[in-house]
Structure 1
Amino acid sequence: MKLSLNWLKDYVDLSGIDIKELWYRFTMSTAEVEEVEFVGREVQDVVVARVLSVVPHPESKKLKIAQVDSGDGILQIVCGAPNVAEGILVPLAKIGGAVKNMPKLGKVKLVGVESFGMLCSAKELGISDDHSGLLVLEGDYAPGTDIKSILDIDDVIIEIDNKSLTNRPDLWGHYGIAREIAAIYGRELKPMQLDGLEAAKTKPELDITVEDAEKCLRYSGLKIDGVKKLQTAMNMKVRLFYCGMRPISPLVDLTNYLMLEMGQPMHAFDSRQVEDGIVVRATKEPTVFRTLDGTERKLPEEVLLICNKQKPVAIAGIMGGENSEVLEDTTSILLESANFEGSSTRKSSTKIGLRTEASARYEKMLDPNMTVTAIKRFVKLLKDIQPDVALASALTDVYCKKLEPIDITITKPYIDRYIGNTLTKEKMVEILRSLEFKVEVEGDTFKIKVPTFRATKDITMKIDIIEEITRIFGYDNIQPQTLEVALKPLEYNEERLLDHKVKELLSERFGASEVNSYIWYDNSFNGRMGIETHGRVKVLNPQAQDADTLRDSMVPGMLAFAERNEKSYEDFSLFEIGSVFEAAATTEKCEQHKNICILAASKIKSEDELFYDLKGIIAFIAKALKNSRVDFPVCTCRYNWVHPMKSVDVSAGEKLMGYISVVHPMIKKNIGKKLNVAVLEINSEVLQAMAPEVIKYKDPSKFPEVVLDYSFLVDNAITFDKVGEDIAGFKSELLNSFSFVTLYNGKGLPEGKKSMTFRFIIGSAEKTLSSDEINAFANSLIDYMNSAGHTLR
């Protein structure tokens, strides 16, 4: 946002203040100043001149020869401007003078005729982009008058980073910035000159109806008649141009000027287009509307419009319509000064792809109490241009949601806790009152009423008051002090520590990637995938209609991640630790639990391999973290993504922990036909509550151990637990331990069989095993497994 220093001086005395120091202090206390530009200084020795005569150039069709009165003599000027004419007053850059982007002027010959200076356009003075002709000065000025005594060419333009003003809607205008500067330097903030609207009090009210009071917080309007052909004051045009806006027409320039001055957007309608009244409503169906820039825009549903009784005339808070713009023959206007809810304005602006200076301000949640003040200021400025305008209606004000000041009570000792005993009570009150806070003092207690222009999204709590005091006083002026704080030993959070250990194991040992999802179901995705959920905990104010149920399982969210990654990866695994919510009924109190969910997906591995991978993961986690084992009884879970055959429960003793399942074929085909998917979901609280088994140690053997891997053919119907029990029944002094390695059920196996590979570690504490002893152990094991019905593959 760009600011004019000349404009700020209208409201605060800046005499004796170093400009660079001013904006350094402003950056340190309020918002970041990105650039300070001194404009107009290159314009030198330019005066008012009266054109006395104009004749054609004898050798050029485009050029003319003018005789001008410069105040200290008659000069001959060769000029190519189409509007040069006898009797007009124009800027004259004299010999030795300078204009923008040009060197100092000297005497020149143009097509054989001498010229002693240059008549200037507004662009050459640097106060406009208009180079179509000379700048014709309105008024009666004596030739030789310094142009800078008439026009505010010399100025300092300050650019402030918009992001640093996001939470300060009161600073989106010059008056708010002037208030800040006045507070920083302890100077008076001059009042804004307003019109009392006395002539409007006896007039009839306008017909204004607000149908959507959630999106339109306030709508104020005034009808003004007798508007003649106006002329925007040149200095107003200069300020608009310096602040980045192009002058358009007097009434539009006035509304833009007010927006840059107060931060309050306004709009002027041609009264002929809204004479039957104003209706503020949202679109109920897609609508095509042509805006002031001549573009036809497709408006979706729920975009707020300003309408007459038949059709839209503006997109509320964004841009007016071409069908109601002020024309050359307009003599009556309806002036709108409204306040629209910030988030709805931002959403509408995003939907239609149109962001304007007005919408940028409304998005910040402007003070609705500013609308009437803006109208009074507009009328004052309009009467300065044309004193005889008539107020044709009463000031009509529809205030849907009244914004009240916020009350905050705070004590001086509380403030001192944060900034030290640096400021007196009187200084604190002085700072707050300079920012227009109302303060009542009772002993060491301050009862503060926050002004509404700071209450929309900025000042809400005690700490905000402390920030206001310290930033205006100056953070650099506060002496750092060592705090006396009672130190307490850190208490371990066992739950958080377990989460960290689980994440570490899953990511580092098993190569899984952590994801984070929302705690509500995506009903649209679930419906598309055919996923049925049991969630009973509903959200009263959901962000979207498809997100109105809190999840009681994390699996649907993980399946959504699987669908997104299916085309990008052949093999991947994901995990998340998050909350689920359960309730016996929608009217019952809900319970929140923390679950661990792991998804394994592959186009390379089979479903069974993924299933056993997950069994191995949870078994390893239980062993590594609790030195305990988990059991895998028959699955009791009834979600429709659970496979009826390839699924098991996970339990710790008699406590159900969760389940492991291959994803049901009906769901799997919707995610990706070639992608095999298995999921594990357990209750982290049950894992946390598992009683760790005592770790038993024994001295390692001094002699080497032998590792033997054997693959056994096992009936498909036999479970891993049964095979494990059979192996555990084998007795041998040499067997130190055994573990499961892998499962294979592909080609080359007898029908009805699967191959399970186990690793056996054997050794003796007394000697190194001989080949005969190893072979004897192997033969004994194989014979034993044969007797149990498991033959060596």
Structure 2
Amino acid sequence: MKFSELWLREWVNPAISSNELAEQITMAGLEVDGVEPVAGAFHGVVVGHVVECGQHPNADKLRVTKVNVGGDRLLDIVCGAPNCRQGLKVAVATVGAVLPGDFKIKAAKLRGEPSEGMLCSFSELGISDDHNGIIELPEDAPIGTDIREFLKLNDNTIEISVTPNRADCLSLIGVARDVAVNNQLPLNVPEMAPVAATLTDTLPIKVEATEACPRYLGRVVKGINVKAATPLWMREKLRRCGIRSIDPVVDVTNYVLLELGQPMHAFDLDRIDGGIVVRMAQPDETLVLLDGTEVKLRDDTLVIADHQKALAMGGIFGGEHSGVNEETQNVLLECAFFDPLAITGRARRYGLHTDASHRYERGVDPALQPQALERATALLLAICGGQAGPVIDVTHEASLPRPATITLRREKLDRLIGIQVEDQQVSDILSRLGCTVTTLDGGWQAVAPSWRFDMQIEEDLVEEVARVYGYNNIPDVPVRANLEMTTHREADLSLKRVKTMLVDRGYQEAITYSFVDPKVQALLHPGEEALILPSPISVEMSAMRLSLWTGLLSAVVYNQNRQQGRVRLFESGLRFVPDSSADLAIRQDLMLAGVIAGHRYEEHWDLARQPVDFYDMKGDLEAILDLTGKAAEIQFRAEANPALHPGQSAAIYLQGERIGFIGVVHPELERKLDLNGRTIVFELLWNKLADRVLPDASEISRFPANRRDIAIVVAENVPADDILVECKKVGANQVVGVNLFDVYRGKGVADGFKSLAISLVLQDTARTLEEEEIAATVAKCVEALKQRFQASLRD
């Protein structure tokens, strides 16, 4: 946001310097990026009147003029500007003047003709880059007046960074309100009296999308002269705010945009068929924009249409067909309130970013439209002439936002600020900010002003009081810390320890945004509802994550696109799951997740280049589970997950409760996400594992261990893990180790079955086991497997 200091001081004029004003604005929360003079350093330039203008006798492109600058004689000045003509009021650099760049004006002869000065362009005075011709001043410009005084060039442009929550400060009135509050001054609002209708002409207006457009105002203005010149004072104010003058109609709407923060649009009335309809775009509907670009509209885009076609993208960009041009005589002035959610992200989808969309996305004062329309009407009639009809107001009150009513507790205010601000001062600050304040026992109740969308909760009011009271007025107090010894249970497993182990295994920790692309998340979690942010950073960051996979997989793609052939990442963080039974209807779970992709090992002459597979990740995951002491209670079960390969994935269960997933990313998903090759992921509910099981010390047997191998045939759908668990349970204290060392399918094994080769390690702590005991235990295991899984020994 860029504005003129003098324009701001028309609204509120504190007795402080420009630098002090900039510092004050910054401390108010509107960071000043720069303060620059509106013109270069020069002197000796005055208003002149071209009394005579003739062709130079020795040069086709030069003119010889006689100029009155208020002295006792006319000055002879040679000029090469194409717009130089008799009767023009101009800026004259007289002999002795010094222009920007230390350029000194001296009397000289140009092609044999004397020249006692120079007729200046805007660029020559360091005002703008416009060097197409000399400055044309108004006819009433006083001859001989210093041009700096006449054009008010002793001015600065102030550029501020406006945070998304302070959309009200994307206007002069918004900044002026803050300056007035901080200096305890009244706001000098220019007179904006309603314009009486002199026509009865109206246009039918129908709002179908009432939630997206709760308020739409229109006004017919007929008989305007669009070729009229925009007044210099308006052109200068626009220029100092970084906006180029186009024509008086557009200039007026831009002026109101800057002054009040209300985007407006003017339609050529004669190009509107029937009336105005505010609706959502229809399937395959197209629109040619003012810049000549044709866009195919999406069905979630708000459009302003007539009875035949779309005329403009609501709150974003006007259309070429109904735009004002040199032939326009009658216009419809539009002034509307669009819901921020109806505009947010729409412009970016079409590769657009306009002043209107920038403001509507952040929120425009829903009570501002009548005042803005009257202001624009008055300015338009004053510049272009014409007659105005009555205001057509279509408002759906139920859809308009309601200002928040907030209770501010004295205890909360004192605790957060650290000092006690007097009751009357708190009431005064909130009132000057535009709030309607009621004093309560132990606090205040404030109704936020319509232009402050960011005032929603108690902490917002605390911030406002501190901001206006002055952060510099709050004394620095040394931090007081109550140091206490904290207890640490031996059973607490530090997440830091797990992270260290993953780093030792070649992983790198990633930190990704909790805000993710809802489209990508929907691919990973189809059918699951996510929390959508009302004011996202961007459309691609508008949903709260349901898992850490969304960010990690995006990080993998990012690294693979930068020639990283081996990626191993992990992350810990919260996921956000909508849950009506949780606080604020959102459940936050601490998760630990990881992803691997690419080569199994770093490139080495002695190692084959092999891609990672499921068991690489499973081994790393089992190392984590070993740290918890709960590995024996963990089960990997085949279970469908839409994000994972159905044949290379598993759900992770702890004592019958699912705590995570592991698996290869689904091939279709790999393609949609542009992943390069096989990618394996895992995710765990960390809080279910953080309370580790302490190991029990036991005597190591001094007696020999015995191994027996069995091969059993079971149905294909029987998990091998269930077989191993059953063997451990049946073998009781004598079976100290069970391992699956081979899986066979093929000749000798019927279709739908598989052969599992299992090793049983038997050992006793008190004696050497006899062969009969070993055989009995093995037979007991085989019988148990037969009973539970219909297993049989393989021949």
What is the aligned partner in structure 1 of residue 697 from structure 2? Answer: 695
Find the residue that maps to 1:91 and give its secondary structure. strand
Q: 1:433 & 1:693 partners in 2: Cα distance?
A: 65
Q: 2:163 & 2:547 partners in 1: Cα distance?
A: 42
Residue 340 of structure 1: which of 320, 338, 341 is its match? 338
* TM-score when normalising by structure 1: 0.76
Q: 1:292 & 1:62 partners in 2: Cα distance?
A: 36
Q: 1:19 & 1:563 partners in 2: Cα distance?
A: 49
What is the aligned partner in structure 2 of residue 86 from structure 1? Answer: 86
Alpha-carbon displacement from aligned partner over 1:65-97 (angstroms, at most 9, x marks no partner): 112222112111111122322232222110111
**Structure 1 residues 757, 64: closer, same or farther in 2, change over 3 A?**
farther
Q: 1:645 & 1:377 partners in 2: Cα distance?
A: 68
Q: CA RMSD in A?
A: 5.7
Is 667-676 or 30-39 further displaced after alignment?
Answer: 667-676
Find the residue that maps to 2:96 and give its secondary structure. strand
**Structure 1 residues 687, 68: closer, same or farther in 2, change over 3 A?**
closer
Q: 1:265 & 1:191 partners in 2: Cα distance?
A: 19
Find the residue that maps to 2:137 and give its secondary structure. coil
**Structure 1 residues 293, 662: closer, same or farther in 2, change over 3 A?**
closer
**Aligned residue type for 2:148:** K
What is the aligned partner in structure 2 of residue 291 from structure 1? Answer: 289
1:554–1:580 CA contact under 8 A, matched in 2: no
**Aligned residue type for 1:67:** K
Is 336-345 or 152-161 further displaced after alignment?
Answer: 336-345
**Structure 1 residues 128, 297: closer, same or farther in 2, change over 3 A?**
farther
Q: 2:550 & 2:176 partners in 1: Cα distance?
A: 55
Find the residue that maps to 1:629 and give its secondary structure. helix
**Does 1:123 pair with 2:123?**
yes
Q: 1:590 & 1:18 partners in 2: Cα distance?
A: 50
**Structure 1 residues 184, 105: closer, same or farther in 2, change over 3 A?**
same
Report how far residue 34 of structure 1 moved: 0.9
Residue 625 of structure 1: which of 619, 624, 628 is its match? 628
Is 550-559 or 140-149 further displaced after alignment?
Answer: 550-559
**Does 1:36 pair with 2:35?**
yes
2:660–2:685 CA contact under 8 A, matched in 1: no
**Does 1:328 pair with 2:326?**
yes
**Does 1:224 pair with 2:221?**
yes
Find the residue that maps to 1:153 and give its secondary structure. coil
What is the aligned partner in structure 2 of residue 765 from structure 1? Answer: none
What is the aligned partner in structure 2 of residue 403 from structure 1? Answer: 401
Alpha-carbon displacement from aligned partner over 1:351-405 (angstroms, at most 9, x marks no partner): 111111121111111111111111121123234436x632223343434522333
Alpha-carbon displacement from aligned partner over 1:438-473 (angstroms, at most 9, x marks no partner): 22335653232211101x2x1111221121121112
Q: 2:93 & 2:327 partners in 1: Cα distance?
A: 37
**Structure 1 residues 297, 128: closer, same or farther in 2, change over 3 A?**
farther
**Aligned residue type for 1:50:** H
What is the aligned partner in structure 2 of residue 382 from structure 1? Answer: 380
Find the residue that maps to 1:10 and give its secondary structure. helix
**Aligned residue type for 1:10:** E
1:40–1:125 CA contact under 8 A, matched in 2: yes
Find the residue that maps to 1:326 and give its secondary structure. coil
Is 134-143 or 469-478 further displaced after alignment?
Answer: 134-143
Find the residue that maps to 2:414 and give its secondary structure. helix
What is the aligned partner in structure 2 of residue 249 from structure 1? Answer: 247
**Structure 1 residues 257, 98: closer, same or farther in 2, change over 3 A?**
farther
2:435–2:448 CA contact under 8 A, matched in 1: yes
Find the residue that maps to 1:198 and give its secondary structure. coil
What is the aligned partner in structure 1 of residue 45 from structure 2? Answer: 46
Report how far residue 613 of structure 1 moved: 6.4
What is the aligned partner in structure 2 of residue 235 from structure 1? Answer: 233
**Does 1:479 pair with 2:475?**
yes
2:556–2:567 CA contact under 8 A, matched in 1: no
Q: 2:470 & 2:449 partners in 1: Cα distance?
A: 22
**Structure 1 residues 143, 215: closer, same or farther in 2, change over 3 A?**
same
**Structure 1 residues 361, 102: closer, same or farther in 2, change over 3 A?**
farther
**Does 1:165 pair with 2:163?**
yes
**Aligned residue type for 1:7:** W
**Aligned residue type for 2:211:** E
The number of equivalent residue pairs is 738
What is the aligned partner in structure 2 of residue 213 from structure 1? Answer: 210
How does 1:570-649 map onto structure 2 within 5 Å? 621=624, 623-626=626-629, 629-630=632-633
Find the residue that maps to 1:261 and give its secondary structure. helix
2:273–2:307 CA contact under 8 A, matched in 1: no
Report how far residue 148 of structure 1 moved: 3.1
Find the residue that maps to 2:104 and give its secondary structure. coil
Report how far residue 252 of structure 1 moved: 0.9
1:68–1:76 CA contact under 8 A, matched in 2: yes
Find the residue that maps to 1:52 and give its secondary structure. strand
What is the aligned partner in structure 1 of residue 133 from structure 2? Answer: 133
What is the aligned partner in structure 2 of residue 772 from structure 1? Answer: none
**Structure 1 residues 692, 156: closer, same or farther in 2, change over 3 A?**
same
Find the residue that maps to 1:181 and give its secondary structure. helix
**Structure 1 residues 287, 233: closer, same or farther in 2, change over 3 A?**
same
**Aligned residue type for 2:209:** D
Find the residue that maps to 2:219 and give its secondary structure. strand
* TM-score when normalising by structure 2: 0.76
How does 1:510-521 map onto structure 2 within 5 Å? none
Residue 364 of structure 1: which of 362, 365, 378 is its match? 362
**Does 1:462 pair with 2:465?**
no
**Structure 1 residues 610, 757: closer, same or farther in 2, change over 3 A?**
farther
Q: 1:218 & 1:13 partners in 2: Cα distance?
A: 34
2:590–2:686 CA contact under 8 A, matched in 1: yes
**Structure 1 residues 97, 494: closer, same or farther in 2, change over 3 A?**
farther
**Does 1:183 pair with 2:181?**
yes
Residue 353 of structure 2: which of 346, 352, 355 is its match? 355
Report how far residue 408 of structure 1 moved: 1.9
What is the aligned partner in structure 2 of residue 767 from structure 1? Answer: none
Find the residue that maps to 2:197 and give its secondary structure. helix
Report how far residue 759 of structure 1 moved: 11
Q: 1:8 & 1:758 partners in 2: Cα distance?
A: 86
Report how far residue 250 of structure 1 moved: 0.9
What is the aligned partner in structure 2 of residue 260 from structure 1? Answer: 258
What is the aligned partner in structure 1 of residue 106 from structure 2? Answer: 106
What is the aligned partner in structure 2 of residue 70 from structure 1? Answer: 69
What is the aligned partner in structure 1 of residue 95 from structure 2? Answer: 95
What is the aligned partner in structure 1 of residue 538 from structure 2? Answer: none
Report how far residue 497 of structure 1 moved: 4.5
**Structure 1 residues 117, 420: closer, same or farther in 2, change over 3 A?**
same
Report how far residue 269 of structure 1 moved: 1.3
**Aligned residue type for 1:208:** I
**Aligned residue type for 2:23:** Y
Is 330-339 or 435-444 further displaced after alignment?
Answer: 435-444
**Structure 1 residues 519, 595: closer, same or farther in 2, change over 3 A?**
farther
> Unmatched 5+ residue regions in structure 2?
535-542, 580-584, 601-607, 715-719, 764-773, 783-795
What is the aligned partner in structure 2 of residue 778 from structure 1? Answer: none
Q: 1:313 & 1:259 partners in 2: Cα distance?
A: 21
**Aligned residue type for 1:187:** L
Report how far residue 64 of structure 1 moved: 1.5
Is 21-30 or 640-649 further displaced after alignment?
Answer: 640-649
Q: 1:591 & 1:600 partners in 2: Cα distance?
A: 28
Larger Rg: 1
**Structure 1 residues 611, 473: closer, same or farther in 2, change over 3 A?**
closer
**Aligned residue type for 1:461:** I
What is the aligned partner in structure 2 of residue 425 from structure 1? Answer: 423
Find the residue that maps to 2:46 and give its secondary structure. strand
**Structure 1 residues 297, 729: closer, same or farther in 2, change over 3 A?**
closer
Q: 1:692 & 1:196 partners in 2: Cα distance?
A: 80
Task: Give identity over the alignment, percent.
Answer: 29
Q: 2:287 & 2:214 partners in 1: Cα distance?
A: 23
What is the aligned partner in structure 1 of residue 443 from structure 2? Answer: 445
Q: 2:240 & 2:669 partners in 1: Cα distance?
A: 62
Q: 2:566 & 2:593 partners in 1: Cα distance?
A: 20
Find the residue that maps to 1:453 and give its secondary structure. coil
Report how far residue 101 of structure 1 moved: 4.9
